[in-house]
Structure 1
């Protein structure tokens, strides 16, 4: 290569001069037929794009400005070219009314780097994707994809893969061949298998989004290998078992979302709550609440609607930035004990913890005015958890207009953060005690 670039490749000098000035493949069969080529014939780029236009009913697209009419493909809507306007490097035609089968010739564009076809009614095959040696970004969310056969051939180039809201049903092994991936989005895909231990091979991942599927089983400990991970979004699945301690090795993590699927009426984080049911969706994660004490960059932690038990550990989020806004969802678990004093070290915590079995509240938290988005300055500790004997649908005073309410007569709420009051067991009460309850419930003391 240092003498002449091989047939089928090119370089502006016709030969390789260093590691950055290598002989690049032309990408299209028949181009760069000779040794020492300084460019590739790019006339076929136009014919490839024309085929895309006609095969995908370009005349009916939402926007098709310039397509097949402008002389240069670089002037066609959604097409991006190199600065010298010689090569097509990007196609962005998201939500553009495309219909039909995307021709596999698209992968023959010699310098294609980014292909974004999200939200179109298209059929897509990965046959030939290995020819697109520069392709780093592929966005095919909301395109009704059902298979990913052949995607493994993009293992040397692909970094950003968006496949949200399709019908994939599973994560094929070929995904784990894409070891250069930094972003993987496969939310809303009806994935019903367990998460393979091979996930640990994707060590370059920064963002892993698999929420709102039907993924079962326990979390593989190999997730701890993903040292570059910033977002781990596995919420709203059917996962179970204990949360692996290996997650504490994710020192770059900022968001962990492991909240359990809670049915069709699942609330948003911090929203109104309903008693959970384990009949259809299982118990979720069990075991003790991990301390997550090795995560200095953590900002959001979502663990709601699981079956975690025990007390909040003293080391909970101990390495996190105490001055940062940190959001934690522990709602609807089986946690108990006192809502602890050490949490006062956090200056701007948003801690949602209703629906547990807390029997005490550290009073030092009642003056943390910047907690709960400032609501503690208005409602004190009630903004964190409603006290025993009171309730509301949030389990806390979410605002001045939604205070904690007293339980009605013959009903009780034994714990902090109750979202409902349960009937009082009065069968063991004496007649005098029953009358006393009646007296208090009907305001007799204020007459």
Structure 2
């Protein structure tokens, strides 16, 4: 065959092959059309932010920023946006992603309004995180209906009102962050019924009042931060030598009153802050934990000698000052 005819035949063969084979770019569109349409509605409701600039009709939504799809069903299971420019209320359209498991908006200072009631439809939701925004209103009671939730973070917002007791009945919850809001009222008694082990509980920097529920003493926590509230009464039941997972306890800047000398502390404890309360008694010898990373009992009503040993002397005087009659190193006050 002559060379020009050979080239012509090969070119024609390539044209036929390309025209009959499926377009690899079109075949890569795995995202469900309904999910894609919902996401585009969410983008529009947030006023077409630059954060979601990759959300283009011609591309696969499973490849968009802040979107994750299930590897087999290709349904959207995660929606997030961190450090961005989303603006306005959280669109109710998020509830039209029925397989959503993770919803995360972080450091979005222009997100406003309440938590939409439509979120109650997300029965597959495992993690709800809306932090460092300007959302307002109460923590909705319907969160207690989302039985698959294992983590809730609503910290650094402007939420008000009481904490719904229904949250304490969530069967899979292992972490709760409601710190740095404007929440009022007591800590729900149901919080002692959390099922998960190694629980994380952050309620600090609010206006919570009343007594800490005794039921919390039945729970194994890893991190507990109830600081900077108006809590009063006894808190000694949060401790106990039989507990094995307690590492971090911050009860500072409340109105708590109990005898510290009668408290047995778990050996796992490495962080204890009790400053600015009305705690009396002496510092028990059992607190000479070698691995203490933070320790502060200042601004209380403690007396007696600071126990020697462990790591108590590695903290300076500010961890002990402004008590009734504490003495011994690191304080300058000598014991008689």
Which TM-score band applies after superposition, normalised by the shorter structure?
A: 0.7 to 0.9
Which one has the bigger strand percentage?
2
4+ long deviations beyond 6 Å? none
1:250-261 counterparts in 2 under 5 A? 250-261=243-254
Q: Residue 73 of structure 1 aligns with which residue?
A: 61
Distance in 1 separating the partners of 2:217 and 2:121: 33
Residues 1:96 and 2:84 aligned together: yes
Which of residues 219, 241, 246 in structure 1 aligns to 2:212? Answer: 219
1:17-416 counterparts in 2 under 5 A? 42-58=32-48, 61-84=49-72, 86-120=74-108, 121-141=111-131, 142-149=133-140, 151-152=142-143, 154-165=145-156, 166-204=158-196, 206-227=199-220, 229-248=221-240, 250-261=243-254, 284-290=255-261, 292-314=263-285, 316-317=286-287, 322-340=289-307, 343-346=308-311, 349-350=314-315, 352-358=319-325, 360-361=327-328, 381=329, 384-387=330-333
Q: Residue 16 of structure 1 aligns with which residue?
A: none
Contact 1:169 1:190 in 2 (8 A): yes
Contact 2:263 2:284 in 1 (8 A): no
RMSD: 2.7
Distance in 1 separating the partners of 2:236 and 2:210: 12
Distance in 2 separating the partners of 1:359 and 1:348: 13
Contact 1:234 1:258 in 2 (8 A): yes
Q: Residue 19 of structure 2 aligns with which residue?
A: none
Deviations 1:403-428 (A, max 9, x none): xxxxxxxxxxxx89xxxxxxxxxxxx
Q: Compared with structure 1, are the counterparts of its residues 253 and 291 closer, same or farther at alpha carbon in structure 2 (3 Å cutoff)?
A: farther
Q: Compared with structure 1, are the counterparts of its residues 43 and 62 closer, same or farther at alpha carbon in structure 2 (3 Å cutoff)?
A: closer
Distance in 1 separating the partners of 2:205 and 2:144: 28
TM-score by length of 2: 0.79
Contact 2:283 2:306 in 1 (8 A): yes
Which structure ranks higher in relative contact order (CA pairs < 8 Å, sequence separation ≥ 6)?
Answer: 2
Matched length: 299
Which one has the bigger helix percentage?
2
TM-score by length of 1: 0.61
SS at match of 2:304: strand
SS at match of 1:92: strand
1:233 Cα deviation from its structure 2 partner: 0.2
1:346 Cα deviation from its structure 2 partner: 4.2
Structure 2 runs not aligned, ≥5 long: 1-29
